[in-house]
């Protein structure tokens, strides 16, 4: 079902459905990274944070599914009331599926050790 807002937005994109789906996946990955890196995380709230990131992403347009896992090995035991770790890009492991019209994009974000970088990438594009 299309509404006038979607039709208006579509008129700005001079690309095919697969390219639009890839664009949308990139927006979602950038949102996850830039909204949540730096947030305090501990063993006590890591699962809650994973769920919050997933649920926040799911309300964005065209998201079919999202799974976020935070690397628990990077969490440390609290040594006092004021001790915590800030979430970094290296700690994020994200799988995302975006569906736009007839195109489906599977994207991911992982820390790539050889690059020393949390890489966002497209795993697969399929068309129906």
Residue 26 lies in a domain: yes
Contacts of 24 (CB under 8 A, 6+ apart): 61, 62, 98, 100, 105
Residue 78 lies in a domain: no
Residue 45 lies in a domain: yes
Residue 20 lies in a domain: yes
Secondary structure class of 61 (helix, strand, coil): coil
Residue 77 lies in a domain: no
Residue 48 lies in a domain: yes
Residue 3 lies in a domain: no
Percentage of the chain lying above the pLDDT 70 cut: 98
Question: Given this model, what pLDDT does residue 101 score?
Answer: 94
Question: Given this model, what pLDDT does residue 81 score?
Answer: 75
Task: Confirm if 107 and 83 have CB atoms less than 8 A apart.
Answer: no
Domain that holds residue 48: 14-72+84-127
Question: Given this model, what pLDDT does residue 77 score?
Answer: 72
Q: What is the CATH number of the domain that holds 120?
A: 3.30.1300.20
Residue with the bigger pLDDT between 7 and 81: it is 7
Task: Confirm if 22 and 100 have CB atoms less than 8 A apart.
Answer: no
Residue 7 lies in a domain: no
Domain count, the chain: 1
Residues 50-103: pLDDT tens digits? Answer: 999 999 999 999 999 999 999 999 887 767 777 788 999 999 999 999 999 999
Is 1 a residue whose pLDDT tops 60? Answer: no
Q: Looking at residues 111-128, what average pLDDT do you find?
A: 96
Question: Given this model, what pLDDT does residue 2 score?
Answer: 59
Question: Given this model, what pLDDT does residue 6 score?
Answer: 86
Question: Given this model, what pLDDT does residue 3 score?
Answer: 78
Burial 76-105 (b: 16+ CB within 10 A, else e): eeeeeeeeebebebbbbbbebbbbbeebbb
Residues 109-118: pLDDT tens digits? Answer: 999 999 999 9
């Amino acid at each position: 079902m299309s509404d006038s807002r979607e039709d208006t937005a579509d008129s700005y994109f001079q690309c095919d459905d697969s390219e639009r789906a890839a664009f949308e996946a990139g927006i979602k990955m950038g949102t996850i990274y830039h909204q949540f890196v730096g947030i305090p995380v501990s063993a006590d709230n890591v699962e809650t944070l994973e769920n919050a990131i997933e649920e926040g992403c799911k309300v964005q347009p065209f998201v079919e599914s999202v799974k976020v896992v935070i690397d628990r090995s990077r969490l440390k035991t609290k040594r006092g009331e004021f001790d915590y770790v800030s979430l970094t890009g290296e700690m994020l492991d994200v799988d995302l599926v975006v569906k736009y019209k007839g195109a489906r994009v599977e994207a991911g974000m992982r820390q790539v050790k050889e690059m020393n970088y949390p890489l966002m990438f497209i795993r697969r594009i399929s068309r129906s």
